[in-house]
Amino acid sequence: MTTLLPLNLNDVSYQLAQKKLLRQINISFEAKNLSVILGANGAGKTLLLKLCCGLIQPSSGQLQWAKTLSTRRGELPPYTLVFQKPVLLQRSVLANLCFALQSLPKDQVLPRALAALEWAGIEHLSSRNATTLSTGQQQIVAIARAWATAPEVLFLDEPTANLDPDATERMETLIANLHHDGTKIIMSTHNLGQAQRLADTITFLDHGQVCEQQSAKAFFTAPKSPIAQRFLSVQGFKP
């Protein structure tokens, strides 16, 4: 089974209403390591993730996966994205999970959904209306839903930005589990501590441009670009 990765972005830019919001993006995402896209608010992290997911199209340049993607609807997608604010249907948590699994043969849907609940440790929330849960619980449902579809690549857009420390910890544990089980993680954050805890590689984004992309260890010891250095020191970070 051929893999999707590496994902290469060649000279990608994105423009909206005459403004270049992303430019000269030349990066790649390799298999196996947990990639974190780091940057301040407004740097363009969300746009970059959306581009990778195909939700928006680049204005110029190319985005290339290692294998061509099927354009057929009604199949489980090979990658998915967890948004910063969870998007759930007004039904039970279980029903939300089953909804994402519609493309599977009917007899596989429920077992998989139940397995997702178990994996995320939220069996007790199974019959609750998803939109009445706390933001933290909703986000966990969202990541459980993503796990259920068994994607090869999981994108996450600042998944813990709206969560309290407890929920953040739980989310990070689940993300780490996914990573250990072989799912490629590409996530964005502006939180240095989180980046340190989780990242294998850092892609640093500032004002729509990638300033550097290197291993996390190297980045946090000696960031190459002045902007990154300023970013770290301003946040009180000492290597």
Partner 1 sequence: MSDLSQSFGHALNLLVRFDSNLWEIVALSFRVSLSAVMIATALGLPIAAALAIKKFPGHGAVRILVDTLMAMPPVVIGLVVYLLLSRAGPLGIFGLLYTPSAMIIAQSLLITPIIVALGLQVFVPLWAKFGDQFRLFNTTTKQNLFTLVHEGRHQLLTVWLAGFGRAIAEIGAVMMVGGNIDHYTRVMTTAIALETSKGNLEMAMALGLVLMLMALAINIMAHTFSRLQQSPN
Q: Tell me if residue 29 falls in helix, strand or coil.
A: strand
Q: Is residue 220 a contact residue for partner 1 (CB under 8 A)?
A: no
> How far is Cα 97 from Cα 238, in angstroms, rounded to an integer?
42
Q: Is residue 50 a contact residue for partner 1 (CB under 8 A)?
A: yes
- Scanning 36-44, 126-134, 165-173, 214-222 for contacts with partner 1 by CB under 8 A, the matching segment is 126-134
- Tell the smallest beta-carbon distance from residue 74 to partner 1 (Å): 5
Query: 184: which 2 tokens?
Result: 């490629």
**Residues in 54-113 at the binding interface with partner 1, rule: CB under 8 A:** 54-55, 73-77, 80-81, 83, 87-90, 99-100, 102-103
Sheet-wide strand order for 60-64: 19-29, 7-16, 60-64
Q: Are 199 and 210 in contact (CB under 8 A)?
A: no
**Residues in 127-166 at the binding interface with partner 1, rule: CB under 8 A:** 129, 131-132, 135, 138
Tokens 């596989």 sit on residue? 108
Tokens 């689940």 sit on residue? 174
Phi and psi for 112 in degrees, rounded to 5?
Answer: -65, -40
Q: Is residue 16 a contact residue for partner 1 (CB under 8 A)?
A: no
Reported residue count of the chain is 239
Binding string, residues 163-182; x marks residues near partner 1 by CB under 8 A? --------------------
Q: What residues line the site for partner 1 (CB under 8 A)?
A: 50, 53-55, 73-77, 80-81, 83, 87-90, 99-100, 102-103, 129, 131-132, 135, 138
